[in-house]
Chains A and B, each alone.
Chain A
Amino acid sequence: MRKSIKTIAAGTLAIALAACSTTGQSDTKSASSAPAKAEAPFPSTYTPYPGTPTALVNATIYDGKGGRIDKGTVFFSGGKIVSIGGPDTPVPADIAVFDGTGKFVTPGIIDIHSHLGDYPTPSVQAHSDGNEATSPTTPEVWAEHSVWPQDPGFTRALANGGVTSLQILPGSANLMGGRSATLKNVPARTVQGMKFPDAPYGFKMACGENPKRVYGGRGRMPSTRMGNFAVNRQTWLDAKAYDGKKRDLAKETLKGVLDGEILVHNHCYRADEMALVLDMAKEMGYKVSAFHHAVEAYKIGDLLRENDVCSAIWADWYGFKMESYDGILENAAFLQREDACVVIHSDDANGIQRLNQEAAKAQAAGKRVGIDISDAQVIRWITLNPAKAMGIDGMTGSLEAGKMADVVLWNGDPLSVYSRPEKVWIDGALMFDAMDRKRRPVSDFELGQPGEGDVK
């Protein structure tokens, strides 16, 4: 897990002692089409809210796949994208049309690494529900059972960040932290009302300093990196021997990973450790979907490409713990140079509000060393690429006919610090409108308190 140490006093940097992340495994193709098992417990109850057929015209469109359309049109209806194209794209009469002149349209932003809900604000001890740090392996816990739907952070991510889908991960105290929850960023009374229908589960794993510090500090295994691997491997071997006759929550999750139904998201900073994890995954027969944090991914971009693993990274975090010492601004660009999959993530209730800006920083760093990455490709880092690593790319992450109408209208270039979301639709329903002060969600927690309903 990550704890941002906020200053008590005037003078400290905010530091992150421990970031969390998950490893994801599994075949993303099968994942995106993984059927929700009829018997799956805690099923999603989310259904899209009513929307009106809407066309955004004359906008600069980034489609999420790496394409750009100038003076483009996006038309959605019934919660789905109907068409996308240039100025001659036909739009039915008598529907809502927004002139996008000078504005930009992207798919809804996706954060692959969030702790909203399981480390909600206010960040009081009673809300600290992200790490079941009582055993180094807890595959049996599910992040969705910790998510507090009233976390005000969800609303900030929507209004300031244009975030429409996100993955809530357990923390990184444990080698195996548990299942993730993939959510639609819609306010709901229950977590089931937020769960992304038919999204596969993720499985959080963690390398390096955190597990060995947390458990070594208690005089138990693992206390070293070699201990980390030993505990992981034995746990996988035990899972492979599981016959399923007697229900075992931990082994059901691990079996799901080995069967390719649950995607591994592995918190891992150092390049050498990522390489070891890839070999462990081969030995045990699973796949890593994404390395999270991955500050040294740039050292092994070739290896990551060959293994079809995404790197979910910050643009510029570095130096807050030993394993983050080699963070560089060019991480994303060097991965892109190797044609490896880049995802920009937040791991932070503030950073999730600015994933577009973080992506722009990483783009600029590449440009300075001669790696020119188009704006449209950079938008892919925060839309289709995270969708792919989360196994939902068949449903969202790009503006394509038939996909969910998760759409952001920006009041300017989303890769500029001067731009903000103007409107955000989720499954075609308008969930945020900067031009309408009531079209913004306010959590139960904030009612009747100072600042209720403010622009935030």
Chain B
Amino acid sequence: MKRALTLAASVLALAAAPAAAQDFVITNATLATGDGSEPIERGVVVVDDGKVAYAGPQAGAGAFETDTVYDVAGAWVTPGLVATVTTLGLADVSGVSESNDVRPGSSPFNAALDVAPAINPSSQHILVHRAAGITRAATVTSPAGSIFGGQGAIIDLGADGQPVTRAKAFQVVAFGEGGARLAGGSRVATYVAFANALREAQDFARGRWDAESAMLTRADAEALGPVVAGEQALYVSVERASDIRSVLGLKRDFPRLDLVLVGASEGWLVAREIAAAGVPVIADGLDDLPNSFEELASTQSNVGRLAKAGVKVAINAATMENPRNLNQYAGNLVALARVPGADGLSWGQAFAAISSVPASISGLSGKAGVLAKGSMGDVVIWDGDPLEVGSVPTKVFIDGVEQPLDNHQTRLRDRYRELDESRLPEAFDW
């Protein structure tokens, strides 16, 4: 039964629009909309037909017909988190190779690889991360047989059979030490391999590709067409400051490239150049060790310094134990604001770095990672400050549909809530 909810008497009810099944209104929220602004008290979110119709202060809300009202009594409400980059849906157990589709190292194909049909929305990792408040993710294979890793998809983590929001959303390529190993043992080889591949793609697009002399497979030459034309984003793994400069320089030969830097541990050393190039960064959030010679200058202040220079920067989900630690990483960047000499983020900036900014990099600007009129109905109600360790969602909506939050882990939790086998073994507790 729908009922009218009047939030502001002066506004007309939208009674004319037939409401879909998942209409709901959240009131009394500590609301963070994900756009970089700071949270507000007594916020209201209105979801109509799977999309956000309103998110903001109660005073600005109109009157709506709705199925359900959640008075959350001050609880935190945010857009769903957006995780980039991940392998969610591509492996059950990463160490069990039969279950792991992340590294197609023996495939003759590379750039042509497309993760979309391989995504398994029933993977426990999807279920676990949905319960952690992540509603959208960029997921992709890793470069294994060449510097190109294949085409990633933007997925939702909903409990349904249609996980793919956008297939072929981006291509990945490895530069730096990783790329050098794949290209033949030297960074020098990476640049030649890259330029050659893109030229073959250009030839293919012009109908001049010659299978006899080509080094790429036909499928790979075709797949790189949208990259060289700037129609598909190119995610470049790169860490060292000098490598970042060289990668930015690739646009001299291929001016349409839609570059995104991934990793960029030494990005802060070249922050102004990255900002001037208008290239966004998916940065390793808390790496602060010289893990390799290309990461000597890594620091937890990297993200803060990039942001200060005006770079659009998201926190990379690939460098933590699991993407569900994104909010912990973001919280740590807030902590840095109180450390002398360090550069951190405000709460609003930090939250944006795991919501609206990665959504924007993923091509979902204004649609995901943000609560605003017309955005997807990906909404999370939390049991505490979402950037504080230990906080988890109490409700998760994707496209306005409330999601189940149970999984293998919660079932084990429930079984082992007590160790009582006086009547029957634990195996009967299910």
The interface of chain A, by Cβ under 8 A from chain B, is 5-18, 121-124, 152-153, 156, 160, 209, 298-302, 314, 316-322, 324-330, 334, 338, 348-351, 353-354, 357, 360-361, 363-365, 367-369, 411-412, 415-420, 434-435, 437, 445-446, 449-451, 454-456
CB neighbours (8 Å) of A326 from chain B are 408, 412
Contact string against A for B residues 338-376, beta-carbon threshold 8 Å, 1 for contact and 0 otherwise:
111110000000000000000000000000000000000
Query: Across the interface, do B289 and A152 meet the contact criterion of CB distance under 8 Å?
Result: yes
Q: Is B213 an interface residue (CB 8 A)?
A: no
CA separation between A39 and B426, bound complex, in Å?
Answer: 52
Query: Across the interface, do B318 and A10 meet the contact criterion of CB distance under 8 Å?
Result: yes
* 5 pairs of A and B residues whose beta carbons are closest in the complex: A364-B390, A8-B178, A11-B140, A451-B297, A417-B331
Query: Across the interface, do A316 and B321 meet the contact criterion of CB distance under 8 Å?
Result: yes
From B241, B263, B292, A123 is in contact (CB under 8 Å) with: B292
Given contacts A368-B383, A434-B339, contact A11 B172 (CB under 8 A): yes
Q: Is B86 an interface residue (CB 8 A)?
A: yes
Query: Across the interface, do A298 and B341 meet the contact criterion of CB distance under 8 Å?
Result: no
A-binding segment of B40-48, B56-64, B87-95: B87-95
- Per the CB 8 Å criterion, the residue count for chain B at the interface is 90
Query: Across the interface, do A11 and B340 meet the contact criterion of CB distance under 8 Å?
Result: no
CB neighbours (8 Å) of B87 from chain A are 11-13
From A314, A322, A350, A357, B289 is in contact (CB under 8 Å) with: A350
CB neighbours (8 Å) of A361 from chain B are 328, 389-390
The interface of chain B, by Cβ under 8 A from chain A, is 85-88, 91-96, 102-103, 124-125, 128, 138-143, 149, 152, 172-174, 178-179, 181-182, 235-237, 241, 262-263, 266, 269, 282, 286-293, 295-301, 317-325, 328, 331-332, 334-336, 338-342, 383-384, 387-392, 408-409, 412-413, 416-417, 419, 426
CB neighbours (8 Å) of B384 from chain A are 364
- Interface core residue of B172, B237, B290, B392 (most chain A CB under 10 Å): B290
Total number of residue pairs linking A and B with CB closer than 8 Å: 245
12 pairs, CB–CB < 8 Å, chain A vs chain B: A5-B94, A6-B319, A10-B142, A14-B320, A302-B419, A317-B322, A318-B128, A338-B419, A354-B328, A357-B389, A416-B389, A455-B341
CA separation between A434 and B338, bound complex, in Å?
Answer: 10
CB neighbours (8 Å) of B124 from chain A are 319
Query: Across the interface, do B320 and A156 meet the contact criterion of CB distance under 8 Å?
Result: no
CB distance from B239 to the nearest CB of A (A): 10
Apart from A13-B322, A321-B93, A455-B299, 11 more pairs, CB < 8 Å: A9-B262, A10-B140, A10-B235, A17-B95, A326-B412, A357-B389, A364-B390, A364-B392, A416-B389, A449-B297, A451-B296
Query: Across the interface, do B289 and A121 meet the contact criterion of CB distance under 8 Å?
Result: yes
CA separation between A314 and B426, bound complex, in Å?
Answer: 24
Query: Across the interface, do B389 and A320 meet the contact criterion of CB distance under 8 Å?
Result: no
Query: Across the interface, do B392 and A368 meet the contact criterion of CB distance under 8 Å?
Result: yes
Given contacts A12-B318, A419-B335, A455-B341, contact A316 B324 (CB under 8 A): yes
Query: Across the interface, do A456 and B288 meet the contact criterion of CB distance under 8 Å?
Result: yes
Query: Across the interface, do B412 and A328 meet the contact criterion of CB distance under 8 Å?
Result: yes
From A9, A17, A209, A302, B178 is in contact (CB under 8 Å) with: A9
Given contacts A299-B416, A327-B409, A454-B301, contact A8 B142 (CB under 8 A): yes
Given contacts A7-B142, A328-B409, contact A13 B290 (CB under 8 A): no
CB neighbours (8 Å) of B325 from chain A are 316
Query: Across the interface, do A322 and B96 meet the contact criterion of CB distance under 8 Å?
Result: yes
* A359: nearest chain-B partner, CB-CB: B389
CB neighbours (8 Å) of B319 from chain A are 6-7, 14
CB distance from A334 to the nearest CB of B (A): 6
CB neighbours (8 Å) of A301 from chain B are 419
* B289: nearest chain-A partner, CB-CB: A121
CB distance from B132 to the nearest CB of A (A): 10
CB distance from A171 to the nearest CB of B (A): 15
CB neighbours (8 Å) of B269 from chain A are 450
Query: Across the interface, do A122 and B142 meet the contact criterion of CB distance under 8 Å?
Result: no
Given contacts A322-B95, A417-B328, contact A411 B338 (CB under 8 A): yes
From B178, B299, B383, A451 is in contact (CB under 8 Å) with: B299
CA separation between A433 and B63, bound complex, in Å?
Answer: 55
Query: Across the interface, do B413 and A328 meet the contact criterion of CB distance under 8 Å?
Result: yes
CA separation between A449 and B92, bound complex, in Å?
Answer: 41
CA separation between A325 and B125, bound complex, in Å?
Answer: 11
* B337: nearest chain-A partner, CB-CB: A418
CA separation between A347 and B233, bound complex, in Å?
Answer: 36
CB neighbours (8 Å) of A7 from chain B are 142, 178, 237, 263, 318-319
CB neighbours (8 Å) of B286 from chain A are 350, 353
CB neighbours (8 Å) of A416 from chain B are 388-389
Query: Across the interface, do B391 and A350 meet the contact criterion of CB distance under 8 Å?
Result: no
Query: Across the interface, do A298 and B416 meet the contact criterion of CB distance under 8 Å?
Result: yes
CB neighbours (8 Å) of B103 from chain A are 12
From A9, A451, A456, B149 is in contact (CB under 8 Å) with: A9
From B237, B298, B387, A10 is in contact (CB under 8 Å) with: B237
CA separation between A357 and B332, bound complex, in Å?
Answer: 10
Query: Across the interface, do B299 and A363 meet the contact criterion of CB distance under 8 Å?
Result: no
CA separation between A298 and B416, bound complex, in Å?
Answer: 7
Query: Across the interface, do A316 and B149 meet the contact criterion of CB distance under 8 Å?
Result: no
CA separation between A419 and B298, bound complex, in Å?
Answer: 21
CB distance from B409 to the nearest CB of A (A): 5
* B85: nearest chain-A partner, CB-CB: A11
* B139: nearest chain-A partner, CB-CB: A11
Query: Across the interface, do B96 and A321 meet the contact criterion of CB distance under 8 Å?
Result: yes
Given contacts A9-B178, A329-B409, contact A417 B289 (CB under 8 A): no
CA separation between A314 and B412, bound complex, in Å?
Answer: 17
CA separation between A300 and B292, bound complex, in Å?
Answer: 40
CB neighbours (8 Å) of A449 from chain B are 290, 296-297
Query: Across the interface, do A13 and B388 meet the contact criterion of CB distance under 8 Å?
Result: no
Query: Across the interface, do A435 and B331 meet the contact criterion of CB distance under 8 Å?
Result: no
- Interface core residue of B141, B172, B262, B288 (most chain A CB under 10 Å): B288
